[in-house]
Each structure stands twice: as C-alpha cells, then as structure tokens.
C-alpha cells in the first residue's frame, strides 16, 4: 500500500477513535472476586446477613454488594451491568471496591436483590435459621442486628466516596445503625485488609 493512501486511511479513522467510550481501568470485579476470597476469607468465615459459618468453596455462599449495583447502573446511565463493565471505567472501579463486598448465602443475596434496608415490624424470617426479613409489598429488607453496623458503614462509604445517591430516609436509618452498632474486631480486620489492597480505608470504621 502506498504511504499516501495509508496516511489517508489513518486520518479517516481518527474521528471514530475520538468518539470511542472510555475503556475500563485496571480494576475489575472478577479480579476483585479472586482477591476477595484468597485474601479476606482464605479459611472461610461468616456470612453477613445470617452469620452462617462457611468453609472455602462453599457453594451456598457468594459475594453481596451491600450498595446494590443496580442502583449504580441507573445512576451512571451506562446501560445494563454487562455493558457498564465493557464501557465504564467508573463502574468497574465502583463494582470492584471490596469495602462494599461481603460473603452472603446465595439464597439470601437473591432475596435481597436491590431492595433498600429498613426495620420491619414482627419477626417473620424469610429463610430458615436466619434473622432476615423481607417485606415484598413495600420492597424492604431487614437484616439481623449484628450486621446492621457493617451494612450502614459500607453504604455510607460508597455514597461518600463515589457520590452515589442515598435517599434521605435510608440515610437516616443507616446513620442510626452506624451509631448503635459500632465496628467489632472482624469488621476492623476486613477494613485493614482492604486498605492494604486498595490503598483506601473506610473512614466510618476508623
């Protein structure tokens, strides 16, 4: 191919390159998942919502985003979750932040979906042997008291760090849980390990 023709082809492609979406950065969720299990829970641990004790490779357990990724997708306006992963560096950073990740029973993770947290009257557990309540009519879930502080601090961290939305009623509830249920040793360890990996701590814990 003649040099002049090659140059013309290259120049003609510049507008297309300029209009291409930002590509994801170094952080991505799949890498975070591997690091999450190997570094934070190499010997197993306890699930967030139910306190279920699990061993490595327990098929009943997966990873919960405490601040739901469906909320992030809507706020960023990047399409669906798979499209956001392909096109948005910001979404990849948010999705992979391990301050927002905790082990959960897959069944409970699915029940929660992206419903907000609340305090639901009565004690009607949605899953056997788990203090987790679901109000499908109002689309709310209530976790066990032992999990509320961790949930609150994860949600408040994500909203503050990434400028994500928390409705005022939800924020007031989370701030109350944050005050009533201070961090324990396990939550502080989780924070220290994530800080070593990501270089950022959760200020609501420290």
Burial of 9 (0-12, 13-18, 19+ CB in 10 A): exposed
- Backbone CA torsion sign across 93, 99, 103, 107: negative
117 in Cβ contact with 142 (< 8 Å): yes
DSSP 64-78: EESS-HHHHHHHHT-
36 vs 43: CA distance, rounded Å: 12
CA dihedral 55, 56, 60, 61 (to 10 degrees): 100
Q: Is 136 domain-assigned? A: yes
pLDDT digits (tens), the chain, 206 positions: 443 333 333 333 333 222 233 333 467 999 999 999 999 999 999 999 999 999 999 999 999 999 999 999 999 999 999 999 999 999 999 999 999 999 999 999 999 999 999 999 877 777 888 999 999 999 999 999 999 999 999 999 999 999 999 999 999 999 999 999 999 999 999 999 999 999 999 999 97
141 in Cβ contact with 112 (< 8 Å): yes
Q: Is 15 domain-assigned? A: no
Q: Is 205 domain-assigned? A: no
Query: Mind listing the pLDDT tens digit for each residue in 49-96?
Result: 999 999 999 999 999 999 999 999 999 999 999 999 999 999 999 999
CA distances in angstroms from 105 to 51, 60, 119, 137, listed in the order given: 9, 6, 21, 23
- Number of domains, the chain: 1
Q: Is 6 domain-assigned? A: no
Q: Which domain holds residue 138?
A: 22-193
Closest CA to 73 of 64, 84, 62: 84
Closest CA to 118 of 149, 150, 97, 143: 143
Helices within 79-133 (DSSP H only): 81-87, 89-95, 106-112
Q: Is 203 domain-assigned? A: no
Q: Is 36 domain-assigned? A: yes
- Reported in sequence order, the residue ranges of 30-184 that DSSP labels E, i.e. its strands, are 45-46, 53-54, 61-65, 101-105, 125-127, 130-135, 140-142
Q: Is 49 domain-assigned? A: yes
Q: Is 84 domain-assigned? A: yes
pTM: 0.85
């Amino acid at each position: 191919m003649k040099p002049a023709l090659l140059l013309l082809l290259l120049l003609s492609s510049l507008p297309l390159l300029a209009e291409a979406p930002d590509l994801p950065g170094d952080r991505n969720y799949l890498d975070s998942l591997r690091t999450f299990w190997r570094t934070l829970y190499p010997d197993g641990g306890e699930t967030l919502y139910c306190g279920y004790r699990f061993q490595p490779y327990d098929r009943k357990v997966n990873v919960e985003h405490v601040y739901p990724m469906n909320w992030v997708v809507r706020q960023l306006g990047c399409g669906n979750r798979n499209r956001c992963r392909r096109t948005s560096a910001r979404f990849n950073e948010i999705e992979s932040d391990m301050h927002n990740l905790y082990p959960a029973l897959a069944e409970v993770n699915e029940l929660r979906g992206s419903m907000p947290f609340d305090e639901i009257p009565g004690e009607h557990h949605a899953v056997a042997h788990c203090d987790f309540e679901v109000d499908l009519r109002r689309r709310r879930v209530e976790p066990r008291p032992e999990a509320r502080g961790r949930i609150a601090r994860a949600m408040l961290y994500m909203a503050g760090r990434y400028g994500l939305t928390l409705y005022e009623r939800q924020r007031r509830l989370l701030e109350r849980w944050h005050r009533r249920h201070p961090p324990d040793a396990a939550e502080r360890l989780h924070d220290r390990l994530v800080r070593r990996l990501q270089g950022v701590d959760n200020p609501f814990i420290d």
